[in-house]
Amino acid sequence: MYRSATADFVVVDAQVHAWDGSPSNQAGPSGEAYVAELYRRHRLLDRQPHAVDADEFARVTGEGLRADVIGGHVDRAVLQPLTLDDLFVLGFSPTAWHAELAEEFPGRFVLAGEVDPALGSAGARGLAARVRNADLRGLHLAPVHRPGARIPLGEPWLRRVLARAEQSGATVVHLGVGPSTPSWPGVPGWSIPRRADVAAAAARPRRWPDWAHPVRAGSALPVRSPDRSAGQGGFDPTQLRDLAAALPRVQFVLGAACMPTASLCRLARLPNVHVLLTELLAGLRLHRVDAARAFGSLLEAFGVHRMLFGSGYPLVRPARLVRELVDFRFPGELCGRYAELDDMGRHAILGGNAARLYRIPLPAGAVPAVPAALSPGAGS
């Protein structure tokens, strides 16, 4: 919980990653390069006085979650998985490991599952049973995160799988909300670090050399698919509109930087589409006016009850983002253009909306009451 001068805010972080990218788990040079890129982005985005060591960043531990997430004003968090088993021997951020970490902190973490594009329809078999057995409240669907592995959102089998998963309890689908920043054409400029910041990060010594041999990196296993790496994301908004209209009880969550802001705002016409603010909250420090303008446009389009707080930990530790969202005011250049965020809106974004979508019980009176039309399963 975060206590400001005027109110106490319950915080539910809708995007936390618990991964193992340590050298012993890297399945070759591509896995090493992937972790190195994430660490470079962490240095650009985190902006806190005490820097995280490269080895500590590569493998999230229970101690790290306790210190940086629970100790960073977060009451509950959703662990988002990403397997990437071509790049990592035991998987990068698998649900099985999340379950073990959640047992260390009873009542703190909610689990999500994954629809892996590399496995296609065959990999989705038995997903509904896994949802029930592990109490998975949502699914992470990256339409593409490696070359040659893409799931068109118009696939009939995908619609059937998501419908069965929703009936089993996974009512939320995060689309492409992974640790990799979008890099395809049209990504909003406010989500891209400034050139000076990139140059400063590049000037620092790299923890991982480019040659990245698996034996030298600590793994005795042979290289698997060394030429493959995480690919670009992105999806067809038309296919998403059709999918969301066909599954009104499934709540779709999109990253704020997944497409141009104007295109994302047009999707607000679908009542079961929500926005995760992870990239935008980090962007408010990188490009103050442009990111604030995008925030104002998304507020007008989606309203405060369809926006979720997320840190993307360990890319960014959540404490600073929580404080900055509570203290957020539109810059002078935009004064009067957008209505200021009030405490009701802050309660909703910081915790109320994610708690509602993921069926997380909160103390009575912790957040303002939500309109009945926004209850889960009602096309909220």
Q: What is the pLDDT along the chain (380 residues), one digit of tens a residue?
A: 888 777 889 999 999 999 999 999 998 888 888 898 889 888 888 877 787 889 999 999 999 999 999 998 999 999 999 888 888 999 999 999 999 999 999 999 999 999 877 777 877 889 999 999 999 999 998 765 554 566 788 889 999 999 999 999 999 999 876 665 445 556 677 777 654 454 554 555 444 444 333 334 444 444 444 444 444 446 788 999 999 999 999 999 998 888 889 999 999 999 999 999 998 998 888 888 999 999 999 999 999 999 999 999 999 999 999 999 999 999 988 888 999 999 999 999 999 999 999 999 887 666 666 655 554 444 44
Residue ranges and CATH numbers for the domains of the chain are 2-19+55-196+233-360 (3.20.20.140)
- Is residue 74 within 8 Å of residue 82, measured between CB atoms? no
**DSSP calls for 272-306:** TEEEE-HHHHHHHHHSHHHHHHHHHHHHHHH-GGG
174: region left, alpha or beta (phi > 0 left; psi from -120 to 50 alpha)? beta
Q: How far apart are CA 257 and CA 271, in angstroms?
A: 19
- What is the Cα 43 distance to its own chain's centre? 18
- pLDDT of 193 reads 65
Decide: residue 122, CB within 10 A, 0-12 exposed, 13-18 middle, 19+ buried.
exposed
> ω before 205 within 30° of 0 (cis)?
no
Q: How far apart are CA 165 and CA 135, in angstroms?
A: 11
- Going by the DSSP 8-state scheme, the letter that residue 102 receives in this structure is H
Sheet containing 273-276: which strands, arranged edge to edge?
12-16, 76-79, 109-115, 138-141, 172-175, 251-255, 273-276, 307-308
pTM score: 0.86
- pLDDT of 234 reads 63
- Is residue 182 within 8 Å of residue 144, measured between CB atoms? no
Identify the bridge partners of residue 113 per DSSP, sorted by sequence position.
Answer: 139
Q: How far apart are CA 302 and CA 269, in angstroms?
A: 8
Q: How far apart are CA 62 and CA 352, in angstroms?
A: 25
Q: How far apart are CA 94 and CA 82, in angstroms?
A: 6
- Is residue 140 within 8 Å of residue 114, measured between CB atoms? yes
Q: How far apart are CA 73 and CA 309, in angstroms?
A: 12
**DSSP calls for 216-260:** TTT--SPP-STT---------HHHHHHHHHH-TTSEEEEETTSS-
End-to-end CA distance of the chain: 25
